[in-house]
Structure 1
């Protein structure tokens, strides 16, 4: 099937408006002969004369009158699709942005994000969905607008990324725990031999803390496994177990607990946001990314 020349829609719209070949040619910056040839093609394509001679002028046929009611809005809609994006008007933006992140991220940054959105774009609604794995399918299929997490090799190569902040691993225990007053006596051996709660999605053990201890020939004494940092900190608050968590990521969650530096080196964490390239040029999405970046940068580390 041969595709019709869609440029003829613009020509038809101008011809039906002007009902004069010379004036239509002038509007489209064509020669009168070129416009006459375009009218001939339109007649052949539609199977109708469209404009017929009446005295010195042209008048539309019934088919042309029917088309005129449809062609104008159609051409204007096509022009709007191809027109460059207008400046974003936040006060008129009506949209829901879905952010996939951990509970800790919501605890630390969620309220500030909601407040910032309400102040700048009252018609925007934020939807937070829990990040339970590292699968990026939701970003690719468009059900999630933005995702936050540790920057790593697991992210798809096509995803766009922007660093938010750097974080480090710290130990956490309730104030009455022996490690809370260990001071200089806190050695890797003492730390490893304490009872630990490990935050592990899907129960999978291991990670930077365990790898650092393994390089010293040590292994944590695991007393409990939790599904995330929130649950791990709840257990550390209620019993004598030690939790290892990212410092900034859990700032608001660690209230009332004793936080201490680990007695061995661990790699820093680079927390970033990720999005699919389909949203790269989207004005609203760009604003939302900017809000997330600024809110994270403005929280004390």
Structure 2
């Protein structure tokens, strides 16, 4: 789509490039290849007759023109997002809308199979695109690249509305033949003497909810392995003496196919509050409301199954 000869998709690319000041990071954030982002930067430079980003040593620095247009660019993108989202009607059975959701593989595994099955039956042209958590997820929502974030409360921005989804508690998971699981309940000594598989997310704010709280324990664990996916952690304890702390819903799901045992935490541990967040300009978006209500419906159904 063009306006005065400019491909409007390039405005999104320009915004991300100015935020990241890196072609590779901008490409990662927009989920496109680095050559594609480089090509977009070339077209942006040609249209504006300005380098936009210039190499200074090993860094890319915005030009004076880029700095001057950046605030207006963000306003334009926000206004476009509001304009597009404020449709007066939404019929899921006829809509071909694409929703982009920032969420973890844990939620994709325990919640979204039911959500996507219902969408297939009642809104077959609706498309769902999911984005894994990252350090830039909140800013991605700010700029309209995401429709929703589903995440623990502590990871969300205070700038946009949030709604509670469900509470999750944590359990200890290990190989079913691990001697520590022969007793009815794992002890604190069992927990701290074992090696652990830890899940860490992002490049800067690396800790998951469990790691965030376990780091404050008065007694340190021995972490044998760090992984970047909740779905990998239970696989890594099978045929070993390692343990991992994980969400109860996910542990129960994996217990159906892996030779694992599940124990309650051997000390008090906080519950995680999963939340839904959306941009403040999208509160009256009927399509987004439909999706939020659908996700909430399946969260309640999952609670009742447990």
Q: TM tier, shorter chain?
A: 0.5 to 0.7
Distance 2:202 2:287 in 1: 35
The root-mean-square deviation of aligned C-alpha atoms, in Å, is 2.2
Match of 1:143 in 2: 145
Tell me the TM-score normalised to structure 2 length: 0.64
Cα distance change of structure 1 residues 126 and 251 upon mapping to structure 2, 3 Å threshold: farther
Which of these residues, 258, 273, 277, is aligned with residue 274 of structure 1? 277
Match of 1:201 in 2: 201
Cα distance change of structure 1 residues 279 and 253 upon mapping to structure 2, 3 Å threshold: farther
Distance 1:250 1:280 in 2: 34
Cα distance change of structure 1 residues 134 and 239 upon mapping to structure 2, 3 Å threshold: farther
Match of 1:229 in 2: 230
Say yes or no: does 1:264 pair with 2:264. Answer: no
Check the 8 A contact 1:104/1:250 in 2, yes or no. Answer: no
Match of 1:106 in 2: 108
Check the 8 A contact 2:234/2:254 in 1, yes or no. Answer: yes
Cα distance change of structure 1 residues 143 and 97 upon mapping to structure 2, 3 Å threshold: same
Distance 2:146 2:113 in 1: 19
Distance 1:178 1:156 in 2: 43
Match of 2:127 in 1: 125
Distance 1:210 1:134 in 2: 23
For residues 16-55 of structure 1, the aligned pairs below 5 Å read none
Q: Residue 118 of structure 1: CA displacement?
A: 1.8
Q: Residue 246 of structure 1: CA displacement?
A: 1.5
Distance 1:233 1:227 in 2: 12
Tell me the TM-score normalised to structure 1 length: 0.65
Check the 8 A contact 1:233/1:254 in 2, yes or no. Answer: no
Q: Which runs of 5+ in 1 are unaligned?
A: 1-80
For residues 187-198 of structure 1, the aligned pairs below 5 Å read 187-198=187-198
Q: More deviation in 198-207 or 273-282? A: 198-207
Q: Which runs of 5+ in 2 are unaligned?
A: 1-82
Distance 2:123 2:160 in 1: 26
Check the 8 A contact 1:104/1:253 in 2, yes or no. Answer: no
Larger radius of gyration, structure 1 or 2?
1
Q: Residue 187 of structure 1: CA displacement?
A: 2.3
